[in-house]
Structure 1
Amino acid sequence: MMSRNAEALFWIGRYMERAENHARLIDVHYHLQTEDLQGLQLAGQEEKTETLCKWGRIVDALGSRAAYEQQYGAFTEQDVVHYVTLDRDNANSLVTCVNHARGNVRSMREKLPSELWDAINGFYLWLREKQSSDWGRESPHQFFGRIKEWTALFNGICQSVMPRENEWHFIECGRYLERTENTLRIMQSVRTNGTRNAEPPEEMEEIYPFLQAVLRSVSGYQAFRRYYADGVLPDAIVEFLVLNTVFPRSVHFALHELDAHLRGIDLQEKQMRVAHDRIIRQVGKLKAELACLEREDLTLDPDGKVTGNLLQAAQQLGVTFAHTFFRIGEATA
């Protein structure tokens, strides 16, 4: 497979996973902020301002604080929502991700099912007509719900009609590497937003809505309750989203899927196979480090160094993937 084709397929998976993550994250947080403001109707202006500034958590979870502050400055609801969804100057906004994914699918139309093009093209044509002023005329929940439906349609077509050949494996590699990074960024937000093992009842009452939102932002609230019942604590959430073996958005699950799809790639050139084996070993090393983690390692990590190191390792995997399969300098972040 030519390197530019591998790159296009890999980034189709990453972009669509990123778009879904953005939609779910901001939808959940939007309603969390709405509840906060309703509870602060009689509060002072200082407390209201503090609540609005919590929109910065969204930007932190996406790893875009520096770029956002350079462009917008303060973290307001209107600016953050526009930046994450419809800002074409933001290389990682929802509309930009969908546009790039569409371009990559178009370049690969001869090798991909036509249904994939129909889905991504319809998604983009619908999304490009949206304006920031639409928030006042329609429910944000309906808008982000529609985004999730479009991405689910695209992913469902991938799963149901694509032959299990290199094209499918490259898309899935992109999807699961992106998912690993997204989940770890959310884990970092758990550690950096005042949620470190709040044990007194009054403190737990304060942060409970945020912890619930963290779980809902990965569609993991109900699954978490099956394992931990009412034990909605920061350390339990980190353990669940890092170490759980069966939840599809845990780091453990995503890394094992990434490893399986990497091994499914069939390469003919000997030089490529050598590089391919190298990245498989790198993923295996990260899996081994994860397997050695105990709950205590996460519990005794109040500053999030463990999850931070895992995030750096996942990001390095992306760099290695580019050097292994793409033409250097062509990979698109």
Structure 2
Amino acid sequence: MLNRNAEALFWIGRYMERAENHARLIDVHYHLQAEDERMLEAGGPEEESADAPCKWTRIVDALGSRESYEAQYGSYSEPDVLYYTTLDRDNANSLVSCVSHARGNLRTLREKVPSELWDTINSFYLWLREKQPEDLMKESPHLFYGRIKEWTALFQGISQSVMPRENEWHFIECGRYLERAENTLRIIKAVGNAASGDGWNNAGAYPYLQAVLKSVSGYQSFRRYYADGMSVESLVEFVILNPAFPRSVHFAFHTLDGHMRQIELQDKQLKSAHDRIIRQVGKVTADLDCLEHEDMVIDRNGSIVGHLLEACQTLGTLFAKTFFRMGEASA
């Protein structure tokens, strides 16, 4: 089952989670745009300075695609950025490309996974590929991207309900939760960069962190924990460290650790490499367990988020070197 099949399963999990993240990034942008408009109405600056980054760069930067975007489009505009991140097949990380890659990988495994998974992802792809740029704005971007989140939730719900808890399941979930941790961190970093020069640690940053909460569907859950005791540090603490919130970085890494330990291997050499990955994941979870509220207060330069992002990238590389033969699946 390893090598080609393991890689395909891992990337099915990553690509479907990444598709959902694209929809959430759009939500982040619109929350921030609404806040920008509110500040203008309240007497804020009428326009950005000439050297200020365009607000649409928030999405492109979060995807790490600025160079590729600018080479293709040059300037930033709402229609171009929405098309590039959603429907542009020349962008390997656009939403339609992610769904297409996940579908292609699942096609090679149709005999190994329940048919309901194929039916769902195939229907999702067929629905999405027919969309045109004008469809993104026809009703509301919120409604369109909300539908994307519903499709990805349907896929996840069906996989939770029908897949046997065997290696195939655990590889998909490893990909999902590694991607989820990295995506949450990228959202924090992108919105933090959009805040003023002092980053999170200033009074004006609160609306930006509120946008982070809404982007991960965590606003109501946050209020249950903190009520009216809101602060910048509490918001970051919740998204990174809360052990019960399913989109927190803490929850994602601990769940990843659990799925890694459930993968069963017979080959001794491969099992040794597998144990190394478990130790690396364990180091990250130990770091998260040791972080406290005070650490968020003093982290003025975002070093904690940067460290965790590097850990995600290292784990992705280590996972590939252990289980995959590069090029045997669409990754």
CA distance in 1, matches of 2:144, 2:173: 26
State whether residues 196 and 234 of structure 1, in contact with CA within 8 Å, keep that contact through their aligned partners in structure 2: yes
Output the TM-score relative to the length of structure 2.
0.91
CA distance in 1, matches of 2:295, 2:31: 33
- Give the direction of change, closer, same or farther, for the CA distance of 1:191–1:43 in structure 2 (3 Å limit): closer
State whether residues 103 and 121 of structure 2, in contact with CA within 8 Å, keep that contact through their aligned partners in structure 1: yes
* Cα deviation code 1:242-267 (max 9, x no counterpart): 11110001111100100000011111
CA distance in 2, matches of 1:222, 1:49: 38
Output the TM-score relative to the length of structure 1.
0.91
* Cα deviation code 1:47-97 (max 9, x no counterpart): 499999222212222232332233223332112111111111111110000
SS in 2 for 1:20: helix
In structure 1, the partner of 2:201 is 197
Residue identity matched to 1:73: G
Q: How does 1:1-333 map to 2 (within 5 A)?
A: 1-34=1-34, 36-37=36-37, 40=40, 46-47=47-48, 53-193=54-194, 194=196, 195-199=199-203, 203=204, 207-330=205-328, 332-333=330-331
CA distance in 1, matches of 2:128, 2:288: 38
Kindly report the root-mean-square deviation, in angstroms, between the aligned alpha carbons of the 2 structures: 2.3
Residue identity matched to 2:325: R
Displacement of 1:24 in angstroms is 1.8
* Cα deviation code 1:34-57 (max 9, x no counterpart): 564476479886349999922221
Displacement of 1:210 in angstroms is 2.4
CA distance in 2, matches of 1:51, 1:150: 36
State whether residues 260 and 278 of structure 2, in contact with CA within 8 Å, keep that contact through their aligned partners in structure 1: yes
Aligned residues: 327
Q: Is 60-69 or 128-137 further displaced after alignment?
A: 60-69
Instruction: Extract unaligned runs of 5+ from structure 1.
Output: none
- Give the direction of change, closer, same or farther, for the CA distance of 1:266–1:332 in structure 2 (3 Å limit): same
CA distance in 2, matches of 1:73, 1:230: 44
Instruction: Extract unaligned runs of 5+ from structure 2.
Output: none
CA distance in 2, matches of 1:269, 1:25: 41
CA distance in 2, matches of 1:88, 1:53: 24
State whether residues 33 and 51 of structure 1, in contact with CA within 8 Å, keep that contact through their aligned partners in structure 2: no
Structure number with the bigger relative contact order (C-alpha 8 A, sep ≥ 6) is 2
Residue identity matched to 1:156: G
Residue identity matched to 2:4: R
* Cα deviation code 1:205-228 (max 9, x no counterpart): xx4432221111111111111122
CA distance in 2, matches of 1:71, 1:227: 45
